[in-house]
Structure 1
Amino acid sequence: MNGRKRLALIVLLAASFTLAVDFSILNVALPTIGADVGFTLENLQWIATAFALCAAGLTLLFGRIADLAGRRRLFLLGMALLGISSLAGGLAADPALLLVARVGQGVATAIVVPAALALLLDAFPEGPLRDKALGLNGSLMAAGFTTGAILGGLLTDLLSWRWAFFINVPVAIAVLLIAPVVLAESKPATKARLDVPGAITVTLGLLALVFSLTNAAEHSWTDPFTLGSLAAAIVLFAVFTAVENRATSPLVPLGILKRSSIAWGNIAGILAFVTETSLVFLLTLYLQQVLGYTPLAAGLSFAVLGLGTVLGGILGPKVIGKLGSKKAIVYGFIIQAIAAGSLVLLSGDPASIALLLIATFVGGVANLVVIVGFMVTATSGLSDTEQGLATGLATMSQQIGITMGIPIMSAIFTAQLLTFDSNSSAAVLSSVSTAITVNAALCLASALAVAMFLRTRKPAPTI
């Protein structure tokens, strides 16, 4: 890797990491933001939801637009939007402007992340070097979610929640100054037309799906808005399938999903992000409601998990080189399941923090091996015209997984908590343990499904 490639990699990774941090950086600061800006308690969730809806719902669309208009051009546009939106959010004095800023950050994420991944794949040909780059990208994306919780607590306690927005501005400016020099424009040689009906139906379908999951966590799975938006998502996806089967230039050529590597690679990616991000949420409840930690102390407790994810990103390419991406995913899920399952032994004893730190470190390493395996599996062996689509699908899987995990596990936690007469620490501990058991079982089920159904090419022999 020469100096130019190394600098290009740093720019792309910095952008992806910054946007991953944005998913969680405001979580611990929500009560403070609500008091300062004027959100009512029941509407605080929209600060996070407005971002997640756009980030997950628009990713596939902008991945395809980047193929048509140029990936570097879209990357720079997205970073500019991130800087402007973050500045507006930091200066916001009323709920409306803050929500507009969060929508802007979500749209910027949907633009930048698939474009950055496509540029990374274009810069590094298939092989060990690309696997290493994907490993670093995956580790920083996953570590960004953990880092966001830690950084949000630090900034809120030491400065102000507004710096959770302002911190993005210098990053965006630096990327905008350096990226045009080190990144070459990238787009397929054959220009295709944008499938507008497909883009509209799949985007609305994704928005409806994410909204239904978010609403289920806030209210219940039987809430009319949850059921209505879930039904709308099913209908829109059915319409999208019909549109794609008839389109001359489909947004998603459905034949690509018949490839085992694309379909099961992305399923593995969604499940990897669902299980790990939701585990962070459950353990945050445990640390604060059972052990009595402050939000900042709870966030700092996940620093060990962050170290595990970084190590997993480094080890991931090596594991894939030895075993292949399929076995890396399967073994990674199994180890993650064991680490998560051990957390059902947590108790109200302060000494339980030792088990939590060890288990989250091991689980973080395993989870990142899975994520690197998913990225390699879902983006390899494709033509240039399919690369943007594949990266858009892979990025969408990341965003959907991050967005879905917390609502699913929150609903399980809440359902168990309602069986108790009070929200005592014992009730919270029991509810967290139930959800963690489901989390571990989901990891094992994922390992089994990938082992049975994923078909990949044999890894090239290493010298």
Structure 2
Amino acid sequence: MSPTVSPPPALAARSTRRWLALSVLALAQFLVVLDASIVNIALPVLGEQLGMDTVALAWVITAYVLPFGGLLLLGGRLADRYGHRRLFLVGTAGFIAASALAGLSMTSGMLLGARALQGASAALLAPAALALVTQLFPQAKDRTTALGIWGGVAGIGSAAGVLLGGVLTAALGWQAVFFVNVPVGIIVVLAIPRLLTRDPASAPSRLDYPGAATITGALVAVVGALSAVEQVGVVHPLTLGLAAAALVLGVAFVMIERRAAEPLVPLTVFRNRNLSAGNLVMLLVGAAMVALFFALSVYMQSVLGYDALTAGLTQLPLAGALVIAAGIIPGIVGTLGLKRTLVGSLVILAGGLIWLAGSPADAVFAIHILGPSILIGIGLGGAFVTATQLSVDGIDGGEAGLAGGLVNTSQQIGGALGLAILASLATARTGALHSAGISAADALTSGFSWVFLGAAAFALIGAAVACFAHREAMPEGTPEGTPEGTLTAVMPAGATY
């Protein structure tokens, strides 16, 4: 077994006010996650004012998701090379500028360009932020609590998008969903240099440019292909071409990484079974969550007749349950262990989704939706916290950015995958029932039920995957980076204690 090396002391002393620093980092992460969903409610008004049809409006979402998902791994590695604080500040500054540009947009082209810049900036910001969190909290107990807050914020950002999008669009116009990022982002940029020390000096390294180019191209092609499934169908030449490009570039990336002296993504990192399991679980949780929020929002407005603001307000119980779950999960992990808590959270999530799938076309919120929403919030809160923790388990400071890029990439790819698969199933189910003479409301409801059941299936598969994690949790008080904290990172896959 290879010897382990403790991280530099500087990593454990990045801040004397680390909990305040965590809150600022989490605020930036909240904006990144929020921006993937807050725009949805504003799309109809935005399209009317800028003269964008349905296809063009889909690109408002895709223009953000493509560079975000495609550049995350590169962003994580750049942070490891040039400094996590530095790349975090660069990404946040770019995100602020892009948000202001989007709010000022007078044409569709200007808006789409701004959205692409937002996504690219988020790809620098997100992995660097998670890497800084892992450095701020090297002790197992504190890290569990910190990642509980982090995972909760990520889940809340997704749930809050619909609510805030409806409120801001109704009160201030569609521009407000972009402008809201500017003052919050400025607070982050001003606070972080005062809360975190400068990045420690690191040995110069050579960036793996061929690996960076191929993996970025592959991820962009994957996200593009999944987005194309929703817009033009599975067998359309665009979808098939992007899928083929993703496959070719993915194979090329693996071949390059196996031969590179300093690879962008050392393939040996996947020998860490917890990291591999955590990322796969995060992919499945992302798939379930994005499909859930999409279907739930449309179901409430198209079937139940809620307006955008009411649909947003109905997300409050789910968001509240998620916040509470994220707060108590660290204590549960300390009692039950990481793996059992993750599996239990995913089973609760699946149970809530299955319950929600039984909602009728004339559902009453308090009777049919409130209960499932609370269960779903509890399950999502627990799953986000524990899957994130599992994904960074055993990672030292030199690869913290890579780990952050991997887990964020898993969530983004999972979201695109889940929405593409389940939206296609729902459309097919609704179309078949409508052709059979079933009423439009009942046909739509049945289609959305399939989305909820499919999301539950993703959660249950995630629970099965979580069972393959190596261990329950690090011993209380064990610093990450000691031999106990890094054992899984250097043990061959399949090894046992």
If the length of structure 2 is used for normalisation, what is the TM-score? Answer: 0.89
Identify the match of residue 316 of structure 2 among 300, 303, 323.
Answer: 303
Matching residue of 1:61: 74
Matching residue of 1:281: 294
Partner secondary structure for residue 184 of structure 1 = coil
Higher mean C-alpha deviation, range 354-363 or range 236-245:
354-363
- Structure 1 residue 283, shift from structure 2 partner: 1.2
Identify the match of residue 351 of structure 1 among 359, 364, 370.
Answer: 364
- Structure 1 residue 335, shift from structure 2 partner: 1.1
- CA pair 251-462 structure 1, distance change in 2 beyond 3 A: closer
- Structure 1 residue 401, shift from structure 2 partner: 2.7
Matching residue of 1:428: 444
Taking the TM superposition and a 5 Å limit, the aligned residue runs for 1:291-370 are: 291-370=304-383
Query: Deviation string for 1:352-376 (max 9, x for gaps)?
Result: 5533122121111112211211111
- Structure 1 residue 290, shift from structure 2 partner: 1.4
How far apart in 2 are the matches of 1:441 and 1:357? 21
Partner secondary structure for residue 17 of structure 2 = helix
How far apart in 2 are the matches of 1:413 and 1:366? 23
Matching residue of 1:402: 415
Matching residue of 1:46: 59
Amino acid at match of 2:469: L
Matching residue of 1:456: 471
- CA pair 245-462 structure 1, distance change in 2 beyond 3 A: closer
Amino acid at match of 2:192: A
How far apart in 2 are the matches of 1:402 and 1:140? 17
Is the CA contact 1:265–1:375 (under 8 Å) kept in the aligned structure 2? yes
Partner secondary structure for residue 361 of structure 2 = coil
- CA pair 352-159 structure 1, distance change in 2 beyond 3 A: closer
Matching residue of 2:49: 36
Matching residue of 1:441: 457
Higher mean C-alpha deviation, range 214-223 or range 241-250:
214-223
- Structure 1 residue 279, shift from structure 2 partner: 0.8
- Structure 1 residue 241, shift from structure 2 partner: 0.3
How far apart in 2 are the matches of 1:42 and 1:170? 31
Query: Deviation string for 1:287-309 (max 9, x for gaps)?
Result: 11211111221111111111122
Matching residue of 1:106: 119
How far apart in 2 are the matches of 1:188 and 1:144? 34
Identify the match of residue 397 of structure 2 among 367, 384, 387.
Answer: 384
Matching residue of 2:9: none
Structure 1 gap ranges (5+): none
Query: Deviation string for 1:28-60 (max 9, x for gaps)?
Result: 111111111121222110001000111111011
Amino acid at match of 1:426: D
- Structure 1 residue 216, shift from structure 2 partner: 0.5
How far apart in 2 are the matches of 1:326 and 1:59? 26
Matching residue of 1:148: 161
How far apart in 1 are the matches of 2:256 and 2:232? 33
Matching residue of 1:219: 232
Is the CA contact 2:156–2:319 (under 8 Å) kept in the aligned structure 1? yes
Higher mean C-alpha deviation, range 333-342 or range 362-371:
362-371
Matching residue of 2:129: 116
Matching residue of 2:482: none
Partner secondary structure for residue 357 of structure 2 = helix
- Structure 1 residue 402, shift from structure 2 partner: 3.2
- Structure 1 residue 128, shift from structure 2 partner: 1.4
Identify the match of residue 97 of structure 2 among 81, 84, 88.
Answer: 84
Amino acid at match of 2:447: S
How far apart in 2 are the matches of 1:4 and 1:458? 26
Amino acid at match of 2:262: S
How far apart in 2 are the matches of 1:64 and 1:213? 25
How far apart in 1 are the matches of 2:353 and 2:200? 42
Amino acid at match of 1:128: K
Matching residue of 1:177: 190
How far apart in 2 are the matches of 1:410 and 1:188? 48
Taking the TM superposition and a 5 Å limit, the aligned residue runs for 1:159-308 are: 159-186=172-199, 189-308=202-321
- CA pair 373-24 structure 1, distance change in 2 beyond 3 A: same
- CA pair 444-457 structure 1, distance change in 2 beyond 3 A: closer
- CA pair 380-191 structure 1, distance change in 2 beyond 3 A: farther
Amino acid at match of 2:258: N
Is the CA contact 2:291–2:451 (under 8 Å) kept in the aligned structure 1? no
Amino acid at match of 2:459: C
If the length of structure 1 is used for normalisation, what is the TM-score? Answer: 0.96
Matching residue of 2:149: 136
- Structure 1 residue 127, shift from structure 2 partner: 1.1
How far apart in 1 are the matches of 2:183 and 2:473? 43
Q: Percent identity?
A: 36
How far apart in 1 are the matches of 2:348 and 2:445? 23
Structure 2 gap ranges (5+): 1-12, 479-497
Amino acid at match of 1:164: V
- CA pair 334-187 structure 1, distance change in 2 beyond 3 A: farther
How far apart in 2 are the matches of 1:208 and 1:287? 32
- Structure 1 residue 462, shift from structure 2 partner: 7.9
Amino acid at match of 2:317: V
Matching residue of 2:492: none
